[in-house]
Amino acid sequence: MDNYFKNLSYLDLSPYYGYTSDEKTMKQTIFSHKSNKPLTFYETFQKLCPQRRSLSLAYSSNLTCSGLKYFLDNPKNGSAPTNWSEPLVGLNLYYCTKLKRKDGSDTLVDLIIDNAPELLDLNLSEIRNLTFHVLYRLATETRIKRLCVSGSFRRRKTKKISDSPPRPKGDDEYLSKLESVLVSGETCLKILDIQDCTLLRGLKFFSLSEQDKKDIKLCGMYRRGQTWIIGPNKINWQRIGQCKCINCDENNPKFARSCFSCKKSIRHSYSHKLLLEFD
Ligand SMILES: [Zn+2]
């Protein structure tokens, strides 16, 4: 049992979202045994999976930035230990809606830039009302290859939605800057998943050329610079003709699970999950 966990590179804490909330909860002793030193929630999982490279905290709707810090590589503040044996390359924060709030001095984007420098695959879907500034910083200040923000840039339907504060002044400028960065290829991003981001629908940058339409029909994505874009309209993955491998650009048969050329996993349709390409 012990050996099974210790060799795991992927740790899925999604079912425990009730516990993974704030820093206070992380420090509470909840696992204890008479003969052993009592452990906190976080210490328990660190002991179980010291080699975690990918981590899912999906659906942790109470997770705060101070709580998230405990699962990253190099917490700079507080007393969190830093002895994960492997760097974090995949992080799934699907529906962790509280993370958009500033928590003390911590902001989500600063935490990721400072404490997860090896990250390649980040899922920030359904966090709702992220800022373009966050998106721009992730595209320009990290090495992330696949960024999924599906449903996190939605047009507000009414003005009184508690989790949708008004967009900061000047934030739209960062969208234009992001577009320039994508076109010029000055980003590590290979896949940007913006499905269901209604705020981006109808914008000139995302209007489709004939080539884009062909690409979408073929592989569900279209290209801007070196980056493949998925969305803002939802893609019906049942309807695409082939699956493109983002590792080697080879087109593979529909529903192929791994690339016949380079053998990497090639599915792009999991907006609520991590991909396996970067393992
Ligand atoms: Zn390939």
Residue 182 C-alpha to ligand 1 middle, in angstroms? 22
User: What SS3 class is residue 116?
Assistant: coil
Residue 158 C-alpha to ligand 1 middle, in angstroms? 44
pLDDT digits (tens, 9 = 90+) for 111-156: 999 999 999 999 999 998 899 999 999 999 999 999 999 999 998 7
Residue 262 C-alpha to ligand 1 middle, in angstroms? 4
Residue 173 · residue 219 · CB < 8 Å: no
1-5, 180-184, 192-196: range with lowest mean pLDDT: 1-5
DSSP state of 209: P
Closest by alpha carbon to 211, among 193, 229, 196, 232?
A: 229
Tell me how crowded residue 123 is: count the other CB atoms within 10 A of its CB: 28
Measured distance CA(279)–CA(15) in Å, rounded? 22
Residue 22 C-alpha to ligand 1 middle, in angstroms? 40
Residue 278 C-alpha to ligand 1 middle, in angstroms? 12
Pairing between strand 227-230 and 222-224? antiparallel
Residue 110 C-alpha to ligand 1 middle, in angstroms? 32
Tell me what pLDDT residue 143 has: 95
74: alpha, beta or left, given left = phi > 0 and alpha = psi -120 to 50?
Answer: beta
Residue 62 C-alpha to ligand 1 middle, in angstroms? 38
Is residue 266 over pLDDT 80? no
Domain boundaries, the chain: 120-253
pLDDT digits (tens, 9 = 90+) for 185-234: 999 998 999 999 999 999 999 999 999 999 898 888 899 999 999 999 99
The number of angstroms, rounded, from the C-alpha of 211 to the middle of its chain's C-alpha atoms is 28
DSSP state of 215: H
The values of phi and psi at residue 87, to 5°, are -70, 155
